[in-house]
């Protein structure tokens, strides 16, 4: 064998060896990993932890799509680890206004064990004892870095980079007073949001009177899924 062919054969052998060690089912490194627990006043029913993309306008949870599911480890507490390996589907992407960064949101949830993906959208109305969701957090995926003085930065409660983030959700129990509303509207007008004197969707007053606010937190903050009555989504209605 010519001496000049030996390096090529060594390289080929190395490549074949690497291919042999690669698991075809390996999904790659997760884009985000979240940890949590399931709580119940009684024995846990048959369920799994899941991440559900929310396709409707926030803060609604009645148009959802299964992103991933994971086993719940038995014990006290019953814990789970959710890993997302893919970006959100196109159906979940939204923008607050033209020119703003596109985003998608998801909620951690408990779902009946082995539930078919096509049945997930009907779970909120099914009154299934194995279904609940975490209303206190949203998982947000940002398609790009958020500019600091944008509407999206105000909405998120901070300037965040592209990728996955965990946000706390706080729902209002009372409406802002006139001074608070005026200050909020002025801040959004400064960021280029129109104010026509109404609370129509897309206006400064519409955003300021939304029944919730967001606050970024760390990805290692535990998620708690409480079985029983479904969490209440939304707060004080402020016309």
pLDDT of residue 3: 52
Instruction: Clarify whether residues 76 and 93 are in a common domain.
Output: yes
User: Quick one: pLDDT at residue 27?
Assistant: 76
Q: Based on the domain organization, do 39 and 88 belong to the same domain?
A: yes
Asked if 151 contacts 191 with a C-beta cutoff of 8 angstroms, the reply is yes
CA dist., res. 35 & res. 137, Å (int):
12
Residues 6+ apart with CB under 8 A from 21: none
Query: What pLDDT, on a 0 to 100 scale, did the predictor assign at position 38?
Result: 97
The CB density around residue 238, as the number of other CB atoms within 10 Å, is 15
pLDDT of residue 15: 44
Q: Is there a single domain that holds both residue 106 and residue 197?
A: no
How far apart CA 175 and CA 227 sit, in angstroms, is 29
pLDDT given for residue 26 in this prediction: 74
Contacts of 157 (CB under 8 A, 6+ apart): 167, 213, 214, 215, 216
Residue-level pLDDT at 74: 83
Q: Indicate if 177 and 124 belong to the same structural domain.
A: no
Are both 76 and 160 inside the same structural domain? yes
Contact between 67 and 88 (Cβ < 8 Å): yes
pLDDT of residue 95: 97
- Do residue 35 and residue 125 come from a single domain? yes
Kindly state whether residues 183 and 124 are assigned to the same domain.
no
Please give the pLDDT value at position 170.
94
Q: Is 131 found in the same domain as 90?
A: yes
For residue 64, being part of any structural domain is answered with yes
**Would you give per-residue pLDDT tens digits along the chain (239 residues)?**
555 554 554 444 444 454 445 566 777 899 999 999 999 988 899 999 999 999 999 999 999 999 999 999 988 889 999 999 999 999 999 999 999 999 999 999 999 999 999 999 999 888 899 999 999 999 999 999 999 999 999 999 999 999 999 999 999 889 999 999 999 999 999 999 999 999 999 999 999 999 999 999 999 999 999 999 999 887 767 87
Range of the domain at 197: 173-210
124 and 46 share a domain? yes
Same domain, yes or no: 177 and 167: no
DSSP H or E segment with residue 180: helix 178-190
3-state secondary structure (DSSP) of residue 38:
strand
Q: Which of 142, 185, 147 is nearest to 167 (CA)?
A: 142
Residue 112 neighbours by CB distance under 10 Å: 19
Q: What are the φ and ψ backbone dihedral angles of 160, each rounded to 5 degrees?
A: -120, 155
- Tell me if 191 is assigned to some domain: yes
Beta-strand relationship, 47-54 and 78-84: unpaired
């Amino acid at each position: 064998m010519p001496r000049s062919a030996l390096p090529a054969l060594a390289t080929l052998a190395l490549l074949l060896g690497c291919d042999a060690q690669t698991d075809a089912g390996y999904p790659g490194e997760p884009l985000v990993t979240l940890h949590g627990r399931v709580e119940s006043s009684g024995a846990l029913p048959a369920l799994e932890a899941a991440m559900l993309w929310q396709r409707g306008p926030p803060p609604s949870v009645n148009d959802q799509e299964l992103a991933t599911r994971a086993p719940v480890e038995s014990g006290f507490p019953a814990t789970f680890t959710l890993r997302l390996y893919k970006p959100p589907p196109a159906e979940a992407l939204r923008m607050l206004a033209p020119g703003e960064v596109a985003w998608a949101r998801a909620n951690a949830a408990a779902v009946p064990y082995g539930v078919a993906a096509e049945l997930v959208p009907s779970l909120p109305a099914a009154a299934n004892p194995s279904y609940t969701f975490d209303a206190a957090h949203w998982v947000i995926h940002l398609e790009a870095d958020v500019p600091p003085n944008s509407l999206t930065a105000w909405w998120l409660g901070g300037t965040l980079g592209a990728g996955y983030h965990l946000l706390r959700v706080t729902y209002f129990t009372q409406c802002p007073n006139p001074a608070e509303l005026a200050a909020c509207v002025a801040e959004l007008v400064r960021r280029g949001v129109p104010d026509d004197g109404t609370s129509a969707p897309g206006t400064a007053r519409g955003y300021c009177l939304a029944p919730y606010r967001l606050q970024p937190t760390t990805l290692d903050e535990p998620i708690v899924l409480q079985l029983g009555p479904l969490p209440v989504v939304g707060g004080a209605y402020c016309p």
